[in-house]
A = this chain, B = another copy of it.
């Protein structure tokens, strides 16, 4: 019976787990994101103790914040590259884990890995082309196209697409330090908070912030539909905990497309087309287990 380790290295917290899937997670730990030395050390200590108790791991999967290098043919494969996060730039994340544990290590962006988790056990099962978006302190997106996680030149950075911004209606300049009013700059949690002077978590469901939020998110979703023709879009993250966002978002997507993409999934079945991730906030760590499974298979 194989056994896998997963690391979800997020911007604010780490989650590590050992197991084989959603019904078989035998150990789990979480700790705040700090320095690579501390976080990788804590992860390795956790895996070593789990190994003592449960037996050896076959592989480890790592879902990491980026930017990072997910290309196995690259000399810097497995590195977190140019992040502004203190201490993390140019960290050989996957290499350190591989050398310490002596097992194959899979490595990809947190959002690609969450997409993989949903593909393996969640709302993307049976599909081959889909998008996983997370709307929280930032906006990120992972995707599978024709059965392959998307990397290309580096990896997608969907949150930074440019969308229409009517400054007459919404004079807020945008909160992205690189782009001002890109999608993330207009619609991630910090943008909502800066625009309205109130934490999104404290806003009632009928606060006008949510109507505007649904419009901005719809622009992003529409652009992704037109760019890569996904069979489904999963939307998670802290902001999407506001479940009242889904109905107006779906309606805006239909209105913006205006019948141009003639697909029943969009015209008639949009409630099943734009959906929350069915693994909830466990897409990432379960995706890391699925990535470990792939890494083990690739080596055998």
Contacts and interface: CB of A to CB of B under 8 A. Distances in A.
Interface of A is mostly: loop
Contacts of A227: 141, 156, 158, 161, 223-224, 227-228
Given A150-B145, A228-B228, A157 B223 contact: no
A260 B157 contact: yes
Q: How many copies does the complex hold?
A: 2
Nearest to A143: B228
Interface string A78-120: 0001100000000000000000000000000000000000000
Interface string A147-178: 11111111111111111110000000000001
Interface residues of A, number: 52
A116 to B, nearest CB: 14
A272 to B, nearest CB: 12
Contacts of A162: 163-164, 219, 222-223, 256
Given A145-B145, A146-B145, A151 B229 contact: yes
Interface in A267-288: none
Given A67-B262, A146-B149, A162-B163, 18 more contacts: A67-B261, A129-B152, A143-B228, A145-B145, A145-B228, A147-B148, A152-B229, A153-B229, A153-B230, A153-B266, A154-B263, A161-B223, A161-B226, A162-B219, A162-B223, A178-B259, A179-B256, A227-B227
